[in-house]
Structure 1
C-alpha cells in the first residue's frame, strides 16, 4: 500500500509539472496526446480556438465526427462550438475532410493536422479523420492555443483492441458503451466480446432459446451496440467458444457433453464425435453470423480438454480417434477431430463473408494430419499443451514464428502482459502497467521470443484482454476502473511509438487527456 501511495504521489507531481511546462517547450516539441503522434513539423502561425468556433465537415460521412468534436470542445473549453457542413473555415475554426495524407506510409487510419489560423484535419479515410479529431480534442483540452506546425500520424498495428469476457461475468450495455467511448479516445478499433463461457451464453437465441442465459443481450441490444460502436470507429468481434468452454450451452444439452472412457463427463467440452453436436454448433453459427456486420468471427478453440488445471489427454476419449479415422482416413490422429472441427467452423464463417479467428493453444507441434486453413487468424496467448502443464510460458504449442511461416496472420495476445484477470490464480499474470510500458511491445510473445521485422508484418497487433475467471471478484464498475491504465498502455504500444516518454510522464498526460468527455 505504501508503494502505491508513493507512485500515486509521484504521478500527481508529474501531472502538475507537465501542465506547468513553459510555452517554449510546447513550441519545440510535438503536441502531447495519448497515444503520441508519429511526426511533428513546427512552423507557421499557431491556432487559437474561436470563442464562437465552427467545426466544418466536407461530406456527410464526417458529420458524426464533427458533431462529437464540437460537443467535446464545448465541454472542455466552454467555448461556443457548433458543427456545420462546409469545407472552408476562418480563423479559429476547425475543418474536417478526407484525402491523401502526405508523409504517411499509405496506411489506413492515418491523418494530418495542419495547425494555422484554422485547424485543418485530414484523414486518409473516415477512421483517420475521426482519429484526427481525437488528437485535436486532446490538444485543445489542455490549451485552446496550439503552436503552428503539422502533425502526421498513423498506427503501427492494424488491430488495437479490448476484449471483455462477458460470458463469465455479464457486463451491462451502458458499461460496454462507456468502454467504446474510452477506446475511441485512445484510437483503439476492435472490441472483442467473449459471449459464451462457464456461466452463460449471453446472446438472445431464437433457434435455441434454451441456451440463452437469464442475463443476456437482446437482438436489439446488439443491433444498437454495433451501430454505436461504428460511430466511434470500433468494430465488434464476436466470439462463441467451441468446442470447449461450452458450459453455458451444454447445461441445456447434457446429452452432448464429452464423456471419457472411464465415464467422466465434461461440463465444458462438447462431444465432437457426435453428429448432433455439429447440428447445434451450426445452428448457433448460422443464427448469429448475420447479426454482426464486421470482418471477423472468433471460433474460440482454446482449452478443449482442460479440466480444472489439468490438460486431459485425448487418449482418454477413444471416440475422438475413431471419429477422426472414420472421417479423415486411417492415418488420422485423435487430434484431427479437433483440427477438422476448426476448419469446419471456418468454412461456415467464410460462407458468411467473414474471416475466422481462433486461440492458438490447441495447435501443437508435430500433431495431426490436418492443417488449419491459412486464412484463420491466430490469437497467440500461450505455449501450453503438455498434459499436466497448462502454464502459458512453456509447452509444445506451435510458435508464433512457425504459424507465420505457414501463412497465418497472428495477433499478440500474450498471457503476460496483455491479460487482466479479475480473480483466481491467473491474476498472477496481471503485470503492473508501469512494467508493461517499460518492458514490453507487440513483437515480444509470451514465451519470450521476439518477431523479426519481416515476421512482424504478419502480426496484426495486440490489445487488453479482460478475463472474469471469478465473476464475483470485481463488479463491472470496478473492472472498468482497474483497466484504466493497462488500456492506455496498450493503446500507446499498438499505435506507437512504443515508449515516447517516461511512464510517469505518460501516466500524468493520460490522466489529463485520455478519458472521454
Structure 2
C-alpha cells in the first residue's frame, strides 16, 4: 500500500526530500487575503491538531515558519473544484482553488498523521465524481440532531459531500412545516434543529438535499387530508397516494416544497415520485394503464389531447419543477416512472436518480442518459442499507460494504430487478455521482447508534469508489485494515 488514507489519494509523489516535521510551535497560517474565507477552517484544523497533539497550540497566523501548516486559496490545473495539492517541506502547504478542496486536504493530512508515516513529498488529489452521498430516511425513523451532526462529520472525514434527507413517508413527516403543521409527525426535527444541522454541514462541505416524496408514500398526508386520496377506476380509495389532479393537493404540495426549499441553502430539491404506479408483479388490474381517471382528465385538460395517468403524473412533476426553477433550485426524482419517448416528457433539467429497473421492458440508465437526463446512481441492488423486520444487512455479497468495494462502481446500474444482471455504462458516459440509501422500512430494527455503527464500513467503501482514486487494496479484507489507523474524525 502507498499512503494509507480513506479514500486513497489520486497521486502521491514520495520524493526523497525532507519530511515535514511539526514542532511545539507549529501553527496553521494563512495569507492575509485568505483570512476571512479560511479563518473557520484554519481554526478547526488548529483545534483538531491541538486535540491530536496537546503540545501544539491551536494558533493561526499570517507568516509561516518551519513546522507550520499553510493553507492557500489558489487555482490548480485540475478539472475538479474540490481538488487540492499537499506539499511537504519545512512548511507543509495545502493549496486548492476552493475552500472545499482545502478542507479535503486537511482531512488527508489528519489521516496521514494517524498512520505514523513521515509526511513527505507531494499529494495531488481530486474526486472523479462530483456528487458523493448518503440518504437517511428521517420520514420513518427519528434521528436526533446530534446523531445527524456526527454523521455529517463522518461523511466529511471520508470526503462525501451530499446528504439526502428523505423527509416523509407513509408513517410520518419528519421536519417542521409551518404551512401545514397538521401533517408533521409528533417527533420531528424543528427548524432550529435543522439550522444547527445545516451549519455543521456547511463546515464540512456537505450539501443537504431535502426530499418531499409525493404523490405516493403519502399516507401521513392523507391521514390529515382524507379528501385528497386518489381513487382508482373502480372507485377504490388509495389512502397512501395523493390525487394530484386536484388543485387542493397540488397547492398543499407546493406549499411544503416552497417552504422547505427556502430553508435549505443547497441547489437541489428531491421531489420523490417513486412507486406510484404498480410494479410488474402486482395484479394485472393494478397495472391497467388507465387506472386513475382523474389524472387522465387532468392531463387531457392540460394538453388538449388524449392522455393517460402517466401524462398527468409527469405534468405534476413538471409543475413542481417550474416552481423550484424560480427558486433557483434543481429538481430531482426517482426513475421508476420516467419513460422517455412516451407521452408527456419530464423536463430535461430534472435530474433522474436511478435506483430500479423492474425488468428489461423498462428504460435503462443508458436510455435515460440518451434522452438527455443527468443521472445519479442509486442502485437498489448494491447501495440499499435497509432496516428490516426479518433480516439484517449482510456482511458480504451485493448489498454490503464488501460488495460496494469489490462488485460495484459508479457506472454500474441495475440491469434488471432482483440482482439478475448489472448494466455498466461506458466510462465516457457522464454520471453525476452516487448516493447510498439508509431505508428505515422497520424503524425499531436498529437504534440510531446501531445504524451509525453498521453503516460505517459501507460509507468507507462508498467513499473510495466515488473518489475514484486507485484502490489501495485489491480485496475488501485488505482495504479494511486501513480502518483502524484512519479512524473517525476528531471530536468537535
TM-score by length of 2: 0.92
Asked if the contact 1:192–1:238 (Cα under 8 Å) also holds between the matched residues in 2, the reply is yes
Question: Does the CA-based 8 Å contact 1:30-1:37 persist in structure 2?
Answer: no
- Of 10, 13, 37, the match for 1:61: 37
Hey, what's the Cα distance between the residues in 2 that align with 1:147 and 1:212? 51
Q: Equivalent of 2:401, from 433, 444, 467? A: 433
Q: Return the offset for 1:319.
A: 2.3
CA positional deviation for 1:498: 5.7
Q: Which residue of 2 aligns with 1:78?
A: 54
CA distance in 1, matches of 2:320, 2:390: 32
Question: Counterpart in 1 of 2:182?
Answer: 210
Pair 1:343-2:318 in alignment = yes
Distance 1:474 1:85 in 2: 46
Is the CA contact (8 Å cut-off) linking 1:73 and 1:79 kept in structure 2?
no
Could you tell me whether the CA contact under 8 Å between 1:269 and 1:305 is conserved in 2?
Answer: no
Deviation at residue 366 of structure 1 after TM alignment: 5.3
Structure 2 matches for 1:92-111, cutoff 5 A? 92-102=67-77, 105-111=78-84
**Structure-2 separation of matches of 1:290 and 1:136:** 36
Q: 1:180 to 1:345 in 2, by over 3 A?
A: same
- Quote the Cα distance in structure 2 between the aligned partners of 1:411 and 1:228: 24
What are the residue-to-residue correspondences of 1:131-142 with 2, within 5 Å? 131-142=104-115
TM-score where L is the length of structure 1: 0.87
The structure 2 residue matched to 1:481, chosen from 428, 453, 458, is 453
What does the per-residue CA deviation read over 1:351-378, in whole Å, with 9 as the maximum and x for residues that have no partner? 10010000101113653x1111111111
Decide whether the 8 Å contact of 2:331 with 2:349 is kept in 1: yes
Please state how far the C-alpha of 1:512 moved relative to its aligned partner: 1.9
- Cα deviation for residue 334 of structure 1 reads 2.2
Stretch deviating more after TM superposition (205-214 or 261-270): 261-270
Q: Which residue of 2 aligns with 1:231?
A: 203
Matched residue, 1:15: none
Aligned 1:166-177 pairs, distance under 5 A: 166-177=138-149
| CA–CA separation in structure 2 for the residues paired with 1:425 and 1:396 | 31
Which is further off, 412-421 or 217-226?
217-226
The equivalent residue for 1:26 is none
Within the alignment, does 1:254 sit opposite 2:229 as a pair? no
Change (3 A) 1:147 1:280: closer
| Corresponding residue for residue 157 of structure 1 | 129
Asked if residue 263 in structure 1 is aligned to residue 235 in structure 2, the reply is yes
1:101-500 to structure 2, matched below 5 A, reads: 101-102=76-77, 105-143=78-116, 146-306=118-278, 310=282, 312-313=286-287, 314-364=289-339, 367=342, 369-384=343-358, 394-424=359-389, 431-447=399-415, 448-455=422-429, 457=430, 459-497=431-469, 499-500=471-472
Unaligned runs of 5+ in 1: 1-28, 385-393
- The secondary structure found in structure 2 opposite 1:146 is coil
Aligned CA RMSD, in angstroms, stands at 2.0
Report how many residues are paired: 473
Would the aligned equivalents of 2:27 and 2:61 in 1 still touch at CA under 8 Å? no
Q: Secondary structure at the match of 1:239?
A: strand
1:424, CA displacement in angstroms?
A: 4.5
Displacement, 1:31?
A: 2.2
